A = this chain, B = another copy of it.
Amino acid sequence: MVERNPFVTVIVTGVPGVGKTTVLTHVASILDGEGTAYVLANFGDYMLKVAKELGLVSHRDEIRKLPLRKQLELQEAAARLIREDALSKLGSDGVLLVDTHTVVKTVTGFWPGLPRGVVLELKPDAIVLVEAAPEVIVSRQERDKTRDRRDIGSVEKVAELMQMARIAAMASATLVSSSVFPVENIEGNPRAAAEKIVELVKMLR
């Protein structure tokens, strides 16, 4: 059976530098303006919360130093907590937006951001892929001095990561009957992408 949450659940993903966080700020602002109830959950924040509660870390940077198997357990626990929080805060008219990645590139390879245990927990109606031309993403990464990103580098490497992200999105979507919704974040107009995500949310209701 296709299980769903009582509220609309949309996972918003994108490779580092695509402008996902900015787009989500606009989504939140539009939903606020409309009076739509929503929860915007940052997956990394929930990973940290769970890890702190378990006494495993005191700071975000320590998570990636945990044994990989421990990180995978935290990933599932974070998904569970996101859904429980949303269940307690949202009625059936609400919207859960999860800010995360379909694939995470590390020195140990491409890790699925929405593996089976995570996506079964979140039960998304849609997985949004915020995308942009690889050239645009690389130039954004170069300008981005505020965050200590480990560069994902060349245009070819960004294009490869985007391709892996699409594959991972469809593999996860196949497990839970959700849609995969690519949306372009046009340079200088993140609100346009935000509006498309809000439209999507309405159609999924």
- Which residues does A use to contact B, with CB under 8 Å? 1-2, 4, 68-69, 72-73, 75-76, 103, 106-112, 114-117, 125-126, 164, 166-168, 170-177, 179-182, 200, 203-204
Residues from chain B with a CB closer than 8 A to the CB of A75 are 177
Residue of B nearest to A164 (CB): B170
Whether B117 and A173, one on each chain, are in contact in the complex, defined by CB atoms closer than 8 angstroms, is: no
CB proximity of A199 to chain B, nearest CB, Å: 8
Residues from chain B with a CB closer than 8 A to the CB of A1 are 73, 76, 117
Residues from chain B with a CB closer than 8 A to the CB of A174 are 112, 114-116, 168, 171-172, 175
Listed by A's residue number, 29 A-B pairs whose Cβ atoms lie within 8 Å are A1-B117, A2-B69, A2-B72, A2-B76, A2-B115, A68-B125, A72-B177, A106-B179, A108-B126, A108-B179, A109-B126, A109-B179, A109-B200, A110-B181, A110-B182, A111-B179, A112-B174, A112-B177, A114-B174, A115-B174, A115-B177, A116-B176, A164-B170, A166-B167, A167-B170, A167-B171, A168-B170, A171-B174, A175-B175
